[in-house]
Every structure is written in C-alpha cells, then in structure tokens.
C-alpha cells in the first residue's frame, strides 16, 4: 500500500531516541522530510545525521525544550522556513515513567503531578497550538500524540492523570480541527523495547545471571506474550500520519500487543 507520504514534512518531538526516533526513521523511510526536536542538541544532531544518511531524506535537528513556549514557536518557525511548511506533528517528548516513582496517594505530591503534566500534557499542547494554524491554512494535516497504556490502568495517580489528559487533549483538538482537514489521534504504547529498556535489562541480566529474553518474558503480560518493539509502534504511527488514515480521528489507538481480559469499545 502506498501511504502517500512522499514529500510530506514532519516534526517529531522527542525524536532523538526511543519510540520518537523509531517514528522519525519510519516517516523518513516513507519519503517524509523530518525535523527532530529534542532537548539535547548533540544527541539530536547525531540522530538526524544517521537518519538522513540511512533514508536519503532531509532530517534536521532543532534543539527544543517543549516546556518553553518561545522555543516551541521557534521550532515551528524554523521548520516552515527550512522545509517550506509542515504537514505532520508527532508529539513524543516526555520523561519516561519510572517504575520506582511514587504511586500511592500519600506519596503523590503536587510537584510529581505538576511535573508530569508540564512535560507531557502542556508540552503537547504548546506544539499543537504552534503547528495547527499552518495545518488549517493548507487544509490538511496530522497530529499524533504518544501517550501510554497507563491511561487504562489505575496503578499510579500521576501516570494515569498525564496519559488520560493527553487523550482528552487529543479529542478536543480532533473535534475543533477536523472540519479543516486535520486528523488528531493518540497512540498508547505499552511496555516497548527501546534503547532504555534494553540497557536496563542488560544490567539486570548481568546482575541476576538470567538472559535478556527471560527478563523480557517477565514483562510481556500482553495478549501476544512478547514485548513490542519501538519499530512496531512506529509502523502504527506512520499509518496514522498518512492520508490513508482519513477515517480515524479523535480516537485512542493501543499499540501494546493487546491487553488480556477487558473489552474496550
């Protein structure tokens, strides 16, 4: 299937590593010119060079802190100036949820929740607010927000709040921007194989004497009983970023290999 993405222009926040990097690669492989936005300039530049050499597309690095509205506006302005416009925004810039973070009521401070909302929710809002006028003006666009399956399980107050908030933001944007030809969706990854997870499991394997495969099996509580790879999440996002996804907007797409038991409708 031709995804009709050749020549499109995308911003991927958090695109220098993990799921964001996999998405940037998948889009570039389909003929999209990509701007990688990340806080660390050196890492972003390295990622952009690698993907440009690998795919032959224009891949630019723009150091950006999505916690700063002025920097976000500069990101979008530079994208439009250098690529001639913008068609796709993928919001993936967020601090990974830590397995050791407080989950109970007594230990969940205002600051913990405020930090999670500032980075993952308000950061996504800022980038969408800066990009949307360009998408509306041209009558076409895609915004994909990366959230997480923590939105569907009450195992942490802060984690659930941040992920559900991204879904709420997505639906509001979809309803407002849909008549202008802009589709907005949210993707919920589950446990995903990234550089960060591999590094963690490598350390655990060295300390425990177990294999990485065995440790991954412990984590794979999904329907498929295997850990989903970042590239597999990126495949889902790439379809949603394409003109082929016209029938899907405002909805949450789970990309975690299935959740056993519950029926979502």
- Class in CATH terms, 9-192+229-255: alpha beta
Q: 155 pLDDT band (50/70/90 cuts)?
A: confident
Dump pLDDT digits (tens) for 34-55: 999 999 999 999 999 999 999 9
Cα–Cα distance between 249 and 247 in angstroms, integer?
Answer: 7
What distance in Å separates the CA atoms of residue 148 and residue 101, rounded to the nearest whole number?
16
**Whole-number Å distance between alpha carbons of 219 and 185:** 27
What is the pLDDT at residue 98? Answer: 59
Round the average pLDDT of the chain to a whole number and report it.
94
* Alpha-helix residue ranges (DSSP H) falling in the chain: 18-29, 41-55, 69-83, 110-116, 123-138, 157-177, 195-208, 212-219, 230-240
The SS3 call for residue 79 is helix
- Given a cut of 60, is residue 99 above it in pLDDT? no
Report yes or no on whether pTM surpasses 0.85.
yes
């Amino acid at each position: 299937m031709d995804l009709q993405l050749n020549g499109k222009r995308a911003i991927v926040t958090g695109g220098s590593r993990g799921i964001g990097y996999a998405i940037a690669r998948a889009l570039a492989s389909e003929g999209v010119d990509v701007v990688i936005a990340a806080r660390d300039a050196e890492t972003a530049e390295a990622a952009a060079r690698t993907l440009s050499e690998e795919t032959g597309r224009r891949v630019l690095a723009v150091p950006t802190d999505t916690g700063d509205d002025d920097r976000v506006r500069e990101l979008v302005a530079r994208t439009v100036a250098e690529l001639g416009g913008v068609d796709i925004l993928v919001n993936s810039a967020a601090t990974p949820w830590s397995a050791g973070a407080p989950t109970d009521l007594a230990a969940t401070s205002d600051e913990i929740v405020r930090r999670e909302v500032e980075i993952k929710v308000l950061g996504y809002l800022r980038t969408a607010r800066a990009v949307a006028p360009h998408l509306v003006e041209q009558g076409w666009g895609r915004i994909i927000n990366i959230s997480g399956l923590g939105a569907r399980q009450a195992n942490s107050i802060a984690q659930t709040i941040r992920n559900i908030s991204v879904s709420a933001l997505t639906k509001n944007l979809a309803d407002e921007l849909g008549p202008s030809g802009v589709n907005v969706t949210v993707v919920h990854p589950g446990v995903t194989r990234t550089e960060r997870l591999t590094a963690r499991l490598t350390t655990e394997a060295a300390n425990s004497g177990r294999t990485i495969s065995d440790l991954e099996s412990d984590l794979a509580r999904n329907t498929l009983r295997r850990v989903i790879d970042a590239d597999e999440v990126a495949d889902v996002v790439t379809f949603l970023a394409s003109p082929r996804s016209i029938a899907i907007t405002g909805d949450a797409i789970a990309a975690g290999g299935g959740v056993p038991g519950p029926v979502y409708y």
